[in-house]
Each structure stands twice: as C-alpha cells, then as structure tokens.
Amino acid sequence: MSKHFETEAIRNQTERSQFSEHSTPLYLTSSFVFDDAEDMRASFAEEKEKNLYSRFSNPNTTEFVDKIVAMEGAEAGYVFATGMSAIFSTFGALLNAGDHIVSCRSVFGSTHTLFTKYLPKWNIETSYFKVNEVSKVESLIQPNTKILYAESPTNPAVDILDLEVLGRLAKKHNLLLVIDNCFATPYLQNPIKFGADIVIHSATKLIDGQGRVLGGVAVGKADLIQEIYLFSRNTGPAMSPFNAWVLSKSLETLAVRVDKHCENALKVALFLENHKHVNWVKYPFLKSHPQYKIAKKQMKLGGNIVAFEIKGGVTAGKNFLNAIKMCSLSANLGDTRTIVTHPASTTHSKLSDSDRLEVSITDGLVRVSVGLEHIEDIIEDLNQALSLK
C-alpha cells in the first residue's frame, strides 16, 4: 500500500464524474454503453479496460475490491454476493475433478458442508487436521493435493493457526494456500505476508460492520484471480453494485471501528476470565489463549470475538441466552450490536458430541461478538445473565 491503511481506505476512490461529487455515487446499472462498433469490439476483446456488464465489473465493485487488494497486499481480486460464493467459486475455479484438499477441521459450517457434501460430487476429497495438529499436515498430503485451507481465528472457538507454518508447508509441497481471513479483517492480519495465495473474506461481518448487507471477497495472485474471475463471470455470483457501494463506505471506517471492537472485546474477555460462573475464556490476545504467541506474531489486535465456557453445560447456555436483555441473539457477527450465540443448542446442535469436540465446541461454549455499545452496558448485560444462568 502506498499510504497508510486509513488513508488508502478513504482516498482510494473511483474517478469523479462530470458532476464533481465528493463521495463516490452509486452506479446502479446492469450494463454499460459503447461509442460505436469498434469501441464495443475492442472492449469485448479486452483490448480496453472498460466496464461491459455488472456481472463482470462495475465502478462500485471495482472501488471496493481495489481497496481490499491494497489492504491485503494482493495483486488482484474479485467480489461476490456472499462469503460462501467467494469460497465456492475459489474451489470451482482452482480445482479439477479428482483433486484433493487438506484443511483444518475447524472451518465455518457451510465450508465443511462444501467439503463433505458437494465437492465429493466431482471426486474432490478433503482430509482434515485439527487446530492443534498442524504437525500432521505433511502426512495428509497426497500426490493430487492442490489446496491447503484454513481459517484463523476459527469460528466459533477462536483458535489460531500459525500462518507462517502453513505458508512454509504450502511452498514446500507446491500447494495453493487459501486462508479465510474473515474474523481478522485486512486491518488485523494479512495472510499473504505469510505465504497465502488467496485470501477470502465474508464482507458480511466486520467489513460491513453494521449488519446490513452480504458480501464476499477473494484476493491474491493475479493469475489465480484471473481464473476465479472467469469462473465467476460465467457462473454469476457477482456482488451487487449497491452492496459494493455500502461496503466501500464501510471500509472508510474499518480501522477505527475494529480498534474499538478489539478494545471492548479485550475488556469483555478480562471480565469473563474472573467470573465465578465461567470455566474458561478464549480470546487471542489473552495470555491464557493456547496460541497467544502465534496470535501476537500474526495479528495486530485480537479481534472482536470472545469464546467462553459457562458452567452448567447446555442448560446453562440456554438459560444464559434467555436471561440476556440488551445483546442480540442472532447468527451474524461483527456488528455494532453485541451478539451472543450458544453453538451447542443452535448452529451445531445436529453434530454428535464427538464431532462438536473436534471443532472445540463444548456444551457450555458461548460466542460473543463484541459490539460498539458502551463497554459498561455490554459487561452489565453479560454479568446479569451469567448470574441468572
């Protein structure tokens, strides 16, 4: 990035129109016009860099992706309707039938479903390693392994994977390293520095930051992004110009918002650490986090997600949710509003006990997406709900 992160997030802007607007307008158009037959021919032949159709590109999606490319230190990128379409299109573009993936087991639920239900349709199999078993990765690599995949921090248990180690392994075995950087945002962590080839975001989370729109991003090496772009241009998971406009505005405040989210989250983690109804707390920047040193090495701050285990298992978890007054019970995260979830009774209730434990979800695990309300109000709500649990 040429300037500071904050400056780039604000000043990296679509060229002004003849109306000299200060803030980028919304280009709500499905297609673009050409001057004459030659202009149209040359544009379709890609001899000119011109917007043709908003499934391919649009000034708003271009502004948004250009910012993320700069923030992540990538060469190129493409933006999608959702985080899941970014993940699926990356696999669709980069994998061939019969390829193999090595992935951390602690991945977002729908990503796990892609690995276990949909990719096998094309004879693409996945071998898993647990968060604390990075040393086993080499033993899982096969001659047809193409992608090494991980999230860090993980959802919902905020475990940390050592990106430097994964980067080294990918390089040694000539694999593509794909990292879902959703929990960290480009402000807190840049996986490309550690050797990632592709970085993915669900922009629905902290990038939007206000729970309004869905979005996804894939950035990375130009030749790989070109494959992802062509796949997406033809299969159609494009981000709408409206969402790109909202998300590009959100990036202008990403640094200040995420700084405050992290400050609040650390205070919540410290409060929970001393609470008599709590067995343990996991937050990347708490010294007690099992991968604290790795988190410190690769992240600027600890993020906004705190996981803790309430005493009393599933019943206590449900009672805690029922006693919450101000925080929201919602599936999203990374919102201005603090959100609490209890995975064992909701998102992960269909998994067996042993499958849940494989992804570090214990019966009493609660995930808090710490928002931007006043810290005293957040802590007061958690405290009264814990006391009633």
Which single residue brings its beta carbon nearest to ligand PLP?
A: 83
Task: Build a one-symbol-per-residue string for 304-343: x at contacts with ligand PLP by CB under 6 A, - elsewhere.
Answer: ----------------------------------------
Percent helix, percent strand, percent coil in the chain, to nearest 5: 45, 15, 40
The residues, any chain, with a CB within 8 Å of residue 217's CB and separated by 6 or more, are: 65, 68, 77, 78, 79, 80, 83, 86, 199, 200, 201, 203, 207
Task: Build a one-symbol-per-residue string for 151-170: x at contacts with ligand PLP by CB under 6 A, - elsewhere.
Answer: x---x---------------
DSSP annotation string for 146-157: EEEEEESS-TTT
Shortest distance (Å) from residue 139 CB to ligand PLP: 26
Considering only 22-30, 80-88, 301-309, 345-353, which stretch makes contact with ligand PLP by CB under 6 A?
80-88
Instruction: Candidates 59, 83, 167, 209: give the one binding ligand PLP (CB under 6 A).
Output: 83
Whether 151 and 103 have beta carbons less than 8 Å apart is answered as no
Shortest distance (Å) from residue 88 CB to ligand PLP: 9
Whether 69 and 190 have beta carbons less than 8 Å apart is answered as no
Shortest distance (Å) from residue 86 CB to ligand PLP: 8
- CA 201 to CA 91: how far, in whole Å? 14
Minimum CB distance to ligand PLP smaller for 160 or for 386: 160
Instruction: Candidates 214, 268, 272, 385: give the one binding ligand PLP (CB under 6 A).
Output: 214
- 118-157 positions binding ligand PLP, by CB under 6 A: 151, 155
Q: Is 250 in the site for ligand PLP (CB under 6 A)?
A: no
Measured CA to CA in angstroms, residue 287 lies from 31, 97, 104, 283, 302 at distances of 53, 44, 23, 9, 11
The residues, any chain, with a CB within 8 Å of residue 56's CB and separated by 6 or more, are: 233, 238
- In eight-state DSSP terms, residue 285 is T
Minimum CB distance to ligand PLP smaller for 94 or for 247: 247
Considering only 34-42, 78-86, 291-299, 366-374, which stretch makes contact with ligand PLP by CB under 6 A?
78-86
Instruction: Candidates 61, 204, 341, 362: give the one binding ligand PLP (CB under 6 A).
Output: 204
Measured CA to CA in angstroms, residue 139 lies from 11, 128, 142 at distances of 47, 11, 8
Considering only 56-64, 68-76, 77-85, 230-238, which stretch makes contact with ligand PLP by CB under 6 A?
77-85
Q: Closest Cα partner for 310 from 240, 259, 385?
A: 385
